Amino acid sequence: MDLQLSAEQVAVRRLAADFAAREASEAAVRAANDAVQVFGGYGYIDEYPVGKYLRDARAATLYEGTSQIQQLLFLASDDASYVSGQTLYVNGGAR
């Protein structure tokens, strides 16, 4: 059984992993923002961990590169035609 991947398969998997990381970090920020809204003013004080979750989620988006830059890289990539919703379109076909 041959486990070697072609260069195109590696590029597709790398692009999909980067896209998944971006989506996960954006989802974490949305969830943390909603939690802070639920807690109201208490979401910002140190007694509750909600404020820390929001700071950590925002830091994750900055650590991985800003979401806008990542999206531009996805769209400008030679391997990707475009990324739409949950479907990754690579070289004209869905993967």
Residues catalogued as catalytic: 64
Position 35 scores a pLDDT of: 94
Q: Which residue segment(s) compose the domain that 69 sits in?
A: 8-94
Q: Half-sphere exposure of residue 28, counting CA atoms within 13 Å on the CB side?
A: 19
CATH of the domain at 74: 1.20.140.10
1 lies in some domain = no
Residue where the block lists tokens 């949305």: 30
- Predicted TM-score (pTM) of the model is 0.63
Q: Judging by DSSP bridges, how do beta strands 93-94 and 87-90 pair with one another?
A: antiparallel
**Number of folded domains that form the chain:** 1
- The first and second tokens of residue 34, run together, are 């909603």
Residue where the block lists tokens 């830091």: 59
Distance of CA 63 to the CA centre of its chain: 11
**pLDDT tens sequence for the chain (95 residues):** 557 878 887 877 877 887 888 888 889 999 999 999 999 888 888 888 999 999 899 888 777 666 667 667 666 665 444 444 445 555 444 44
Instruction: Give the separation between CA 71 and CA 88, rounded to whole angstroms.
Output: 12
